[in-house]
A and B are shown apart, each in its own frame.
Chain A
Amino acid sequence: MPKHSEQPAQPGKLYVGRSLPKNDALALATAQELFTADYASEGALHCALLYSPHAHAEIRSIDTEAALAVEGVVDILSYKNVPRILHTSAGQGYPEPSPYDAVLFDRRMRFVGDRAALVAAVTLEAAREAVQKIEVDYEILEPLLDRRRAMDEGVPRLHGGEDHAKIPVVYEPEKNLAAEVQIAFGELEKGFAQAELVEEHDYSLPAASHCAMEPHAALAYIDQRGRLVIVTTTQVPFHARRIVSKLIGCPLHRIRVIKPRIGGGFGGKQEVILEPLVALVAWRNKRPARLVLSRREVFVATRTRHAADLHLKTGAVKDGSITALQMDCLLEAGAYGTHSLTVLSNVGAKVLPLFNKIENIRFHGRSVYTNLPVSGAYRGYGATQGYFAWNQQIDAVARWAGQDVVEYCKRWHIRAGETSGVFEALGEGKEGVSQVVQSCGLSECLDRGARAIGWTEKRDKRIRVGEDRVKGVGLAVAMQGSGIPLIDMGAAAMKMNEDGSFNLYAGATDIGTGSDTILAQIAAEVLGVPIEKIIVLSSDTDLTPFDVGAYASSTTYVSGQAVKACAEKIAAQILATAASLLETNAESLQLEAETVRDKTGKKSISFEEVATSATYNRDQYQIQAQASYTCQQSPPPFIAQFAEVDVDIKTGRVEVVRFVSAADCGRPINPVLAEGQIEGAVVNGLSYALWEEYRYDENGRMTNPRFWDYKIFTARDIPEMQTILVDSEEPTGPFGAKSIGEVAINGPAPAIANAVYDAVGVRIRDLPITPEKVWRALRDERGAVDSAPTTGRSAGS
């Protein structure tokens, strides 16, 4: 039976550390809230897209005559009538670290699903009919479908010409190289020469879809004063405004982006894909325009997790010390390079600092173009790929050294007060920011998680379950970050109403995570008022201050600090006004239960009286404030995740029967919401570990773009799950909090792979872990303990 941990409220706190219901939950459960596609758009033009059926082609010509003749068709967009403005769809800070390699409509088609044209019509049926009637003459080009050959001589090139990087980074489209990152510490070869064991293996992970339940959608209209309003399924409303402005030539001050409720993002909506299209149609035609993608379009034509090949080489000596670690990574950018540099950096940056005592390290990564769907941001953001390989290497080294991997991880992981050179060496498109870890509960996570899964009773026991099934347990550890240091900025504004309530205007973008509630709890705690008195409005570029958006595990940590600082300014104003009314000094007063009290307890005045006086009666002014916060560092949350599997030795089927996550996210502001983040990430990770992958035919066409063929876990598929929150105190976080949005997706795949090895002695190094792969490995190994790495040498096992 799934259970969630009971968390006491934070000591001395009233509203943080409590599992209050999300402030939009009842409105969502009763379906009062609106998602983008739910907005009424009377008279709107419906948009439909024509996609390239070829993986690589040049459009010789487009004939739209028959399409325009379809009744109700109003506009058709293509390379013929849309200005060619290079940009990246990546919703990142400016200037973006992703290459400027895309235009809204190009003659060159770079994958099956690339955008060839758009039809806007008075009905969806007319738009779709017209799409069918557009005649495109394609010159079919040889496609590049194998990322491992992308940099070979004589293979097709996808980009060139004016495509460029916006910041000084390695970008060589003439080699299909979208990004390259390299760092090195110590003396790698010397480290390997000292090693008594060298584990050297290849790992591979496929592309995957975010599968947010709400498909991407956008609506644009011109308001009464001629401004362009965009309602959209976005994680990045402010970046969307900036990018749309540039692409359609509409000044930024004439654009308003509204984020309604969002049906999940996971990185898939950190991309500005649909907004410029509806904006352009609305702007050109001075009519509303809407575009709602089908599930198939979401699969093919939005973004995926970067497929990856990793090559890891680990040298160790008998006591288990790692003498050298080499990590090479090849990421598949697909047709465009959105997020390809930063995801690549994070393969190293979020993994290598975890065992910070390894002195000899080399990380080398490349992201390459192929004629396949476009990769982008996806929860975990490279760390997921890195940890899949790294955790299996660690498991193998610990076994070889004759050490229990739980104890091994406890010995080697980074601790509070320690640092890693990797923090400073690897950033997001530039060097990173050095930091000393100030909170780390990973050892406690390891202990409590191990107890919960029954580690000592099950590890290395190969317990038989019936005739054909063998039990195994495996561990994976991981860290992530909390925002991007010196880049991410969040801001908030607040005002006080005369009844003692407050409006909170946050730039932060709640995409279903509950950040509107988390931010309200933070403000409520500072001001000492119930959460109902904090009225939250978030993510409207006209009404709220700036925020980079919901990504990089940043909202609680970065936007939360902005809200805290803002609320503290409000508190100071309340104290000053009360001091004047009570004829005392502010230092002698404190806030308590919606009242300002003299510390001696003799004088008091209610918030309502303070606000009413300030509004109407004396020295009138609006009690209001704003604050911004840029994170100076990115404190990592930590997690230990344990899988218990039953492996069927006849069929190779792996069933995950139990999964335990023990996470340190600092002091959680709302434990149930933190658990929800972990549980959702775990199930996404389990589903990716066992089932999910993009499959392509020989022409580069995705063959499984539907939920019937791209299966994700349902309630019936989940194991018994346990989530343990291990509190630590992060001094730089709001009320001690760190992030929790991403870290938990990193462990399921390696924990399962390690558990499969524990059960039956075979290592599966490419995802997904299908029955066929396990069956083949068992047949090949005949159940023997793995002693034959896929490449290179192994000094023993």
Chain B
Amino acid sequence: MTGTLSINGTELRISLRGDEVLLDVLRDLGHTEVKEGCREGACGSCLVLLDGVLVNSCQVLAASALGREITTVKGLGTFHEPHPIQEAFVETGAVQCGFCTPGMVLATFALLKKNPRPSEEQIRHALDGNLCRCTGYVKIIEAVRLAAERMASDA
């Protein structure tokens, strides 16, 4: 089938098979910022926003994303214009190997959009679908808190 994928605001006309998974389609299109960690929806490395809703792209058929708005971590900020969440991750030491970071940043973004002043418990809950083996999560939680503070004061 053919259709339009909208990725980070850019529309792309593509053709795909019905059984293709969004994660593979995105990576094949060069969006390697979407990582594959388990392919079972258990680790959060491949998170993207689909019409603003957080999904594990390994669990989504690409066909079902046609005509909808996909946001990857590169849609939030860039090296030269990073998002406050990305800056907070850098400053708190929340990035070690960085493989889980795109998913963590997107999970944080989704949380703060819904709940700009989350409690620690709410932060932990929101990150429950994201595995990280490097940091022990301590500095990631700190990064979310810092980002929340900054974004709240900017708002």
- Judge: A and B partners, yes or no: yes
Q: Which of A262, A292, A295, A715 makes the CB contact (< 8 A) with B123?
A: A715
Comparing A281-289, A414-422, A593-601, A679-687, the segment that makes contact with chain B is A679-687
Contact A264–B133 (Cβ < 8 Å): yes
**Distance from A748 Cβ to chain B, minimum over Cβ atoms (Å):** 11
Given A213-B132, A682-B136, A683-B137: A295 in contact with B37 (beta carbons within 8 A): yes
Task: Please report the C-alpha to C-alpha distance between residue A713 and residue B141 in the assembled complex, in whole angstroms.
Answer: 14
Task: Please report the C-alpha to C-alpha distance between residue A263 and residue B98 in the assembled complex, in whole angstroms.
Answer: 7
Q: Which 3 residue pairs spanning A and B have beta carbons closest together?
A: A512-B97, A28-B98, A263-B99
**Distance from B54 Cβ to chain A, minimum over Cβ atoms (Å):** 15
0/1 string, A771-793, CB within 8 A of B gives 1? 00000000000000000000000
Given A213-B43, A707-B42: A22 in contact with B95 (beta carbons within 8 A): yes
Contact A214–B95 (Cβ < 8 Å): no
Contact B98–A512 (Cβ < 8 Å): yes
Q: Is A539 an interface residue (CB 8 A)?
A: no
Q: Is A672 an interface residue (CB 8 A)?
A: yes
Q: Is A14 an interface residue (CB 8 A)?
A: no
Please report whether the interface of chain A is mostly helix, strand, loop or mixed according to DSSP: loop
Q: Which of B37, B91, B127 makes the CB contact (< 8 A) with A714?
A: B127
Contact A708–B93 (Cβ < 8 Å): no
Q: Which of A1, A29, A214, A714 makes the CB contact (< 8 A) with B90?
A: A29
Task: Please report the C-alpha to C-alpha distance between residue A435 and residue B139 in the assembled complex, in whole angstroms.
Answer: 36
Q: Is A163 an interface residue (CB 8 A)?
A: no
Task: Please report the C-alpha to C-alpha distance between residue A214 and residue B32 in the assembled complex, in whole angstroms.
Answer: 13
Contact B91–A21 (Cβ < 8 Å): yes
Chain A neighbourhood of B140, CB < 8 A: 715
Chain A neighbourhood of B142, CB < 8 A: 2, 4
Q: Is A211 an interface residue (CB 8 A)?
A: yes
Chain B neighbourhood of A715, CB < 8 A: 123-124, 127-128, 130, 132, 137, 140-141
**Distance from B140 Cβ to chain A, minimum over Cβ atoms (Å):** 7
Please give 7 more A-B residue pairs, beta carbons under 8 A apart, in addition to A29-B87, A707-B131. A4-B138, A35-B35, A263-B35, A676-B139, A706-B38, A715-B132, A718-B137
User: Once A and B bind, how many residue pairs between them come within 8 Å at the CB atom?
Assistant: 187
Q: Is B77 an interface residue (CB 8 A)?
A: yes
Chain A neighbourhood of B40, CB < 8 A: 295, 706-708
Chain B neighbourhood of A723, CB < 8 A: 138
Chain A neighbourhood of B120, CB < 8 A: 1
**Distance from B150 Cβ to chain A, minimum over Cβ atoms (Å):** 15
**Distance from B8 Cβ to chain A, minimum over Cβ atoms (Å):** 11
Interface residue ranges of B82-117 to A (CB < 8 Å): 82, 86-87, 89-93, 95-102, 105
Q: Which residues of B contact A (CB under 8 A)?
A: 30, 32-33, 35-40, 42-43, 45, 72-74, 77-79, 82, 86-87, 89-93, 95-102, 105, 120, 123-125, 127-142
Chain B neighbourhood of A680, CB < 8 A: 96, 133-136
Chain A neighbourhood of B132, CB < 8 A: 213, 715
Q: Is A59 an interface residue (CB 8 A)?
A: no
**Distance from B93 Cβ to chain A, minimum over Cβ atoms (Å):** 4
Contact A514–B131 (Cβ < 8 Å): no
Contact B139–A718 (Cβ < 8 Å): no
Q: Is A577 an interface residue (CB 8 A)?
A: no
Contact A210–B78 (Cβ < 8 Å): no
Q: Is A387 an interface residue (CB 8 A)?
A: no
Interface residue ranges of A1-45 to B (CB < 8 Å): 1-2, 4, 19, 21-22, 24-35, 37-38, 40
**Distance from A136 Cβ to chain B, minimum over Cβ atoms (Å):** 26
Contact A22–B130 (Cβ < 8 Å): no
Q: Can you report 8 A-B residue pairs in the complex whose CB atoms are below 8 A from each other?
A: A2-B138, A25-B93, A28-B95, A30-B74, A37-B36, A213-B37, A214-B97, A214-B99
Contact B86–A264 (Cβ < 8 Å): no
Q: Which of A2, A22, A212, A718 makes the CB contact (< 8 A) with B133?
A: A212
Q: Is A513 an interface residue (CB 8 A)?
A: yes
Contact A25–B97 (Cβ < 8 Å): no
Contact A261–B79 (Cβ < 8 Å): no
Q: Which of B35, B96, B98 makes the CB contact (< 8 A) with A676?
A: B96
Contact A263–B97 (Cβ < 8 Å): yes
Q: Is A332 an interface residue (CB 8 A)?
A: no
**Distance from A490 Cβ to chain B, minimum over Cβ atoms (Å):** 20
Contact B42–A21 (Cβ < 8 Å): no
**Distance from B67 Cβ to chain A, minimum over Cβ atoms (Å):** 25
Task: Please report the C-alpha to C-alpha distance between residue A266 and residue B99 in the assembled complex, in whole angstroms.
Answer: 14
Chain B neighbourhood of A678, CB < 8 A: 136
Task: Please report the C-alpha to C-alpha distance between residue A1 and residue B94 in the assembled complex, in whole angstroms.
Answer: 16
Given A714-B137, A715-B123: A21 in contact with B33 (beta carbons within 8 A): no
Given A294-B39, A714-B130, A714-B131: A213 in contact with B136 (beta carbons within 8 A): no
Beta-carbon nearest neighbor of B88 in chain A: A29
Beta-carbon nearest neighbor of B80 in chain A: A30
Q: Which of A1, A19, A212, A264 makes the CB contact (< 8 A) with B93?
A: A19
**Distance from B26 Cβ to chain A, minimum over Cβ atoms (Å):** 12
Contact A29–B82 (Cβ < 8 Å): yes
Task: Please report the C-alpha to C-alpha distance between residue A27 and residue B138 in the assembled complex, in whole angstroms.
Answer: 21
**Distance from A23 Cβ to chain B, minimum over Cβ atoms (Å):** 10
Contact A679–B38 (Cβ < 8 Å): no
Contact B134–A673 (Cβ < 8 Å): no
